[in-house]
Amino acid sequence: MKPRYFAAGAAALVCAGLAFFTVSAQATLKPGDSAPDFTTQASLGGKTYTYSLASELKKGPVVLYFYPAAFTKGCTIEAHDFAEAVDQYKQYGATVIGVSHDNIGTLTKFSVSECRSKFPVAADEDSKIIKSYDASMPMHESMANRVSYVIAPDGKIIYEYTSLSPDKHVENTLRAVKEWAAQHPQQ
């Protein structure tokens, strides 16, 4: 009888863990929510500067994507994908910025090598931005989950996508930007 109780207990723990992960993974901000404003250190093409979301939104929509750590396999793939698509985003008046828990020194290198000097990456060493966007990695709150947002110039989130796989983030956010641009041709 003891092994049976152990198996049932283990199954309950696994289910509870999966339920926690599912709830945590779905705790992101949703379309219609106001995007928290932020200012932080960023790097573009190896040059560090102060990035302001409010200033970027005056130019058009912002694609804000969070990623776990610079120079890891999935984050490198995602950075390459965004770099290749930057010109397409620009066609619709949108800009791109990546945010991670990495320090600005690491991101200065990442901005050149993996982002190919095409878009900025911002440092969030204290995880304030990550937490304000409910983009924390389940079970590791200081690290970002892989979450992408599209923010309209009025500061409202118009699209959110969460997946640890880097595969669909560019495709999905680009589609959201195109849809927004079609509805706002004068902006």
185 or 100, which is more confident: 100
Task: Look up 75 and say whether it is catalytic.
Answer: yes
Amino acid 185: pLDDT: 80
pLDDT tens-digit readout, 9-51: 433 333 334 333 333 344 589 999 999 999 999 999 999 999 9
pLDDT tens-digit readout, 51-63: 999 999 999 999 9
CATH of the domain at 95: 3.40.30.10
Domain count, the chain: 1
Q: Which of these, 108, 122, 128, 109, lies nearest to 65 by C-alpha position?
A: 122
Contact 115, 82 (CB under 8 A): yes
Q: Which two tokens stand for residue 38?
A: 């932020």
Q: Which two tokens stand for residue 2?
A: 């003891």
187 or 161, which is more confident: 161
The three-state secondary structure class of 88 is helix
Q: Which two tokens stand for residue 152?
A: 């309209």
Point out the catalytic residue in the list 44, 63, 75, 152.
Answer: 75
Q: State the Cα torsion 116-122-126-131 to the nearest 10°.
A: -110
Domain range for 73: 2-183
- Give the mean model confidence (pLDDT) for residues 68-88: 97
* pTM given for the model: 0.85
Q: Phi, psi at residue 172, to the nearest 5°?
A: -70, -45
Q: Which of these, 133, 155, 153, lies nearest to 145 by C-alpha position?
A: 133
Amino acid 27: pLDDT: 54
- DSSP 8-state symbol, 155: S
pLDDT tens-digit readout, 121-144: 999 999 999 999 999 998 888 899
